[in-house]
A and B are shown apart, each in its own frame.
Chain A
Amino acid sequence: MPLWFLRGLSRGVVTTRYPARPDASAATLPTPPAFRPRLLTRQVADRLVAVCPSNALSRQDDVLVFDIGACTCCGRCAQTAAEAAAGPASGAITSSGQFELAATSRETLLKQIPILGDAR
Chain B
Amino acid sequence: MNPGTREAAAASRLKDTIAAQFGRSLHIRTLDTGSCAVCEQEIRLLTAPHYDLNRLGFFFTPAPRHADLLLVTGPMVRAFDAAACKTYEAMPGPKIVVATGACALGGVYRKDPFVHGEVAEVLPVDVWIPGCPPSPLALLHGLGVAVGRLAEKTPGLTFVAKEAADPETGGEP
Which residues of A line the B interface, CB within 8 A?
A: 14-16, 18-19, 23, 25-26, 29, 32-39, 54-56, 66-74, 91, 93-94, 96, 98-106, 108-109, 111, 113-114, 120
Could you write out 27 A-B pairs with CB less than 8 Å apart?
A: A15-B49, A15-B50, A18-B51, A18-B137, A18-B140, A19-B56, A19-B141, A25-B137, A26-B135, A36-B163, A55-B107, A56-B107, A70-B105, A72-B102, A72-B108, A72-B132, A91-B164, A96-B159, A98-B153, A100-B153, A101-B141, A101-B153, A101-B157, A103-B155, A104-B127, A105-B128, A111-B158
Docked Cα-Cα span, A36 to B52, in Å, equals 38
> Is B154 in contact with A35, judged by CB distance below 8 angstroms?
no
Number of B residues near A (Cβ < 8 Å) is 47
Can you list, as one digit per residue, whether each of B146-166 has a CB less than 8 Å from chain A (1) or not (0)? 100110111101111111101
Chain B residues whose CB sits within 8 angstroms of the CB of A15 once the complex forms: 49-52, 55
A71-B129 Cα distance, complex, nearest whole Å: 11
When the two chains form the complex, which single residue of B55, B137, B162, B168 contacts A26, counting CB atoms closer than 8 Å? Answer: B137
Assuming the contacts A19-B56, A33-B159, A113-B159, asked whether A102 and B120 have C-beta atoms less than 8 A apart, the reply is no
Interface pairs A-B: 6 shortest CB-CB: A70-B107, A72-B132, A69-B105, A102-B142, A34-B161, A100-B141
